[in-house]
Amino acid sequence: MESGIKFSSVIAGCMRLGEWGAKYDTDGYEKFIDGCLDLGVDNFDHADIYGGFSTEQEFGAVIKRRPDLKSKVKITTKCSIKFPCDNRPNYKSKFYDSTPEDIIKSVDNSLSYLNVDSIELLLLHRPDLLLDARAVADTFVELNKQGKVKYFGVSNYTTDQFDLLNSFYPLINNQLEVSLLHLDAFYNGTLNQCQKLDITPTAWSPLGGGTIFKDTQDEKALRIKEAAKDLMVTYNCNLSQLLLAWLAQHPTGIRPLLGTSKVSRVEEAVKAVNIKMTRADWYLMLEASRGHEIA
């Protein structure tokens, strides 16, 4: 279910590579990129805002140093969120901007910062209540015609919001918060919509933000950890791999967007999505998350 785009089995998230996480220098970025590519992971997920509008440029410094990587990496990036920071001192408050002018400006900036010729997938990062769907669709047509962006999608959109924009331009992705600790997409129609439209969703925070790995008193996390004990033995995997395998069972082929800056964790994730759980075990984990027997 990939509607033209070819996602790798997992997506390498770049949010925590720079200022908002590992603070890699150019060598650190290069090692991470090469490590992912060696594992067959060629989709790298960005957003213009990451690192306070700095991570794209830092990532692009590797591409400038290593032009051979330009044809190997597939870039997803996002636009439309604005917030005040050192790199954007003129912004007075957080807001969303999905006007044609801003989308075009953001794409041109991303291409320049990342040192790539085209963006594989452009996402509108958050729903903009002032979005003019027809104008955005016309902008997508123009960006595609110019060869700047191959595919378009959204992130965090409801089914109604997705339907509106999709009625003017075919979207190929909805990037969602979905995990065993965040089940909304299974029940609010979002994943059903993806299956109906033959869309592969990508899952941000697929491990639930890491809460489950901490010394937590969260009842849901504790139930999941308890239910996972025997299954980790059954499937010869660790807890994070079990959570990713659970997501990968869905018929839409959910692709987890990883938040790690460690290549070893990416390797674990690649192995995890090949684990085939039984339906009984899948529903056992769902029951643990919900805290009651399924109807």
What is the CATH classification number for the domain harbouring 36? Answer: 3.20.20.100
Task: Give me the pLDDT at residue 158, please.
Answer: 97
pTM: 0.95
Tens-digit pLDDT string for the chain (295 aa): 345 788 999 999 999 999 999 999 999 999 999 999 999 999 999 999 999 999 999 999 999 999 999 999 999 999 999 999 998 988 889 999 999 999 999 999 999 999 999 999 999 999 999 999 999 999 999 999 999 999 999 999 999 999 999 999 999 999 999 999 999 999 999 999 999 999 999 999 999 988 899 888 889 999 999 999 999 999 999 999 999 999 999 999 999 999 999 999 999 999 999 999 999 999 999 999 999 988 8
Task: Give me the pLDDT at residue 224, please.
Answer: 96
Is 157 a residue of the active site? no
Residue 270 belongs to some domain of the structure = no
Residue 185 belongs to some domain of the structure = no
Residue 235 belongs to some domain of the structure = no
C-alpha–C-alpha distance, residues 78 and 273, integer Å: 25
Task: Give me the pLDDT at residue 12, please.
Answer: 98
Type of residue found at 243: L
Do the Cβ atoms of 107 and 119 come closer than 8 Å?
yes
Do the Cβ atoms of 108 and 64 come closer than 8 Å?
no
> Which residue out of 24, 50, 151, 157 is catalytically annotated?
50
Q: Closest by alpha carbon to 103, among 202, 12, 169?
A: 169
| 96 Cβ contact partners less than 8 Å away, ≥ 6 residues apart | 80, 81, 82, 125, 126, 127, 128, 129, 130
Residue 272 belongs to some domain of the structure = no
DSSP-derived secondary structure letter, 2: -
Residue 168 belongs to some domain of the structure = yes
Task: Give me the pLDDT at residue 271, please.
Answer: 97
| Helix, strand, coil abundance in the chain, percent, nearest 5 | 45, 15, 40
**Domain count of the fold of the chain:** 1
Cβ burial of 6 (10 Å; 0-12, 13-18, 19+) is exposed
Residue 198 belongs to some domain of the structure = no
Q: Where are the beta strands (DSSP E) in 60-128?
A: 74-79, 81-82, 95-96, 119-124
The structure tokens listed for 203 are 């899952």
Residue 234 belongs to some domain of the structure = no
**Residue span of the structural domain in which 128 resides:** 1-172
Residue 34 belongs to some domain of the structure = yes
| 227 Cβ contact partners less than 8 Å away, ≥ 6 residues apart | 284, 285, 287, 288
